[in-house]
Structure 1
């Protein structure tokens, strides 16, 4: 069925409760590859609760992308086989805590019609608040590319302009490896879409094998900024935004190109082995 634009734009939920502990924090960090080197003390701080060392556990900022997994303004009738992540933009009002009880308010921020054969873009906004104080922790703007749902007659313009990376050569480039089983581990943080685990389902969706979650790639780009310009300090993050341009296959190496201008880190990510850019228009704002 085609997207019912007025009905979809009116969808919202408020005050939905969620909670997490250090277990979910560490599982997410492992899912994006933290701790791959068991002697990297800076990364171990994100995957080891530190009973012996007494060093406090750190939270990867993009844990925010899964901390209220499933938060939604309501059901939207889409062709699920053809749905992939398009963009993610998280604003951090406060550092992510190791444990928390929160509420989530979700709305539809926009739905854009790219054409009958070109798909649609659905934008959702989720505001996560501390359950006790009501203070905002993060605001999450997520965009989904529904490849099989264009042509419903909705607006074709109005999406925010993407961040433009500098035209000069990158100030820094880093390689980050992924494991062949990485999608199988990452999916335990919430996204059980068989596109990332079932070869037959992935083939039906047009891929040669299960692909890495876009949100795993998102977390990996956060790792890249953490290890370069943030000195592994998660409290330095104020915003982290990306636009996905191509999937990553588990086991591939992601090369991040980074540019720093003041407190803004621009970045793109690519898989050199296939000569394909997988993330464009990346922007991190640091304190």
Structure 2
């Protein structure tokens, strides 16, 4: 396998992706909305409920980026592991629309047995040219390291050392990965037993971005009173896989209040840290959320 180190810093050609209310509802269902009570979260799962305005879960911003993984060279896709995901919203996403996005590979780092590849994408509204979201992604490619490159920056974020201020528990379903793949991520790691074995797993695992979406949805309800206008940005580092059907627990620390408004409302910006566990194992770590109070 050979990675193209010359691609770092090169911006992709613009690509477009459109979505409809059906896509928004499917995504919400795929990250657990309405599972325990189908009459809850109707603003995310339906478009024609009486007196209910359709809204978009903030983490859907990660799906409006077109183009997929940048052309970074040749490698075994079974060796790819999602490392970290971040996004920032400029304002709540509309229930239907079309985004034009560009992507720039920001780094290819040598981690010894693996390579760490990072990139950033920016999406704008095709109709208005207004910036919708900025998304940062990083992946590990096992077996692609050892090329003598820069090891990259060391992690700087840390988690509070006290007990969390709150915990929220939810469950995934055994067919969760089969449902989530319909949102666009058809990686066979999450559906094909033989492919999963090539990746070192006993069975297909849940998409990391499904765990991420579950976590974002629970944070929205717990800290933003389900108001998408209050949700600004989210970042998290993937540490262990989740199997479909396992429970998730989101541990939340409210840590700081800012002094200025930003974006959606005139209220101060708050910061929270979070960690998601499954069966007592941390699966999403060093989480950080910014939102309005």
Q: TM-score, normalised by structure 1?
A: 0.93
- Contact 1:2–1:152 under 8 Å retained in 2: no
CA distance in 1 between counterparts of 2:39 and 2:93 reads: 22
Superposed counterparts of 1:241-260, under 5 Å: 241-260=235-254
C-alpha deviation, 1:56, in angstroms: 1.0
- Contact 1:122–1:144 under 8 Å retained in 2: yes
- Contact 2:15–2:66 under 8 Å retained in 1: no
CA distance in 2 between counterparts of 1:37 and 1:55 reads: 19
- 1:104-137 deviation digits (Å, cap 9, x = unpaired): 011101111101x2x1110011100011222210
C-alpha deviation, 1:55, in angstroms: 1.2
CA distance in 1 between counterparts of 2:44 and 2:64 reads: 15
Partner-residue secondary structure (3-state), 1:264: strand
Match for 2:284 among 259, 279, 284? 279
1:22 lines up with 2:21 in the alignment: yes
C-alpha deviation, 1:10, in angstroms: 4.5
- Contact 1:71–1:106 under 8 Å retained in 2: no
1:139 lines up with 2:134 in the alignment: yes
1:98 lines up with 2:95 in the alignment: yes
| 2:265 counterpart residue number | none
Unaligned stretches of 5+ residues in structure 2:
258-269
Check 1:271–1:52 CA distance in 2 against 1; reply closer, same or farther (3 A cut).
closer
C-alpha deviation, 1:278, in angstroms: 0.3
C-alpha deviation, 1:226, in angstroms: 1.3
Match for 1:53 among 30, 36, 50? 50
Partner-residue secondary structure (3-state), 1:12: coil
Check 1:170–1:4 CA distance in 2 against 1; reply closer, same or farther (3 A cut).
same
Partner-residue secondary structure (3-state), 1:46: helix
Q: TM-score, normalised by structure 2?
A: 0.91
User: Number of paired residues?
Assistant: 279
C-alpha deviation, 1:14, in angstroms: 3.1
CA distance in 1 between counterparts of 2:82 and 2:54 reads: 29
Partner-residue secondary structure (3-state), 1:13: coil
CA distance in 1 between counterparts of 2:182 and 2:249 reads: 25
C-alpha deviation, 1:153, in angstroms: 2.1
Unaligned stretches of 5+ residues in structure 1:
none
Check 1:56–1:76 CA distance in 2 against 1; reply closer, same or farther (3 A cut).
farther
- 1:220-277 deviation digits (Å, cap 9, x = unpaired): 11012012111111121111100000000000001111001231110001112xx311
Superposed counterparts of 1:151-162, under 5 Å: 151-158=146-153, 161-162=155-156
C-alpha deviation, 1:163, in angstroms: 2.6
CA distance in 1 between counterparts of 2:289 and 2:88 reads: 10
| 1:120 counterpart residue number | 115
CA distance in 2 between counterparts of 1:145 and 1:88 reads: 12
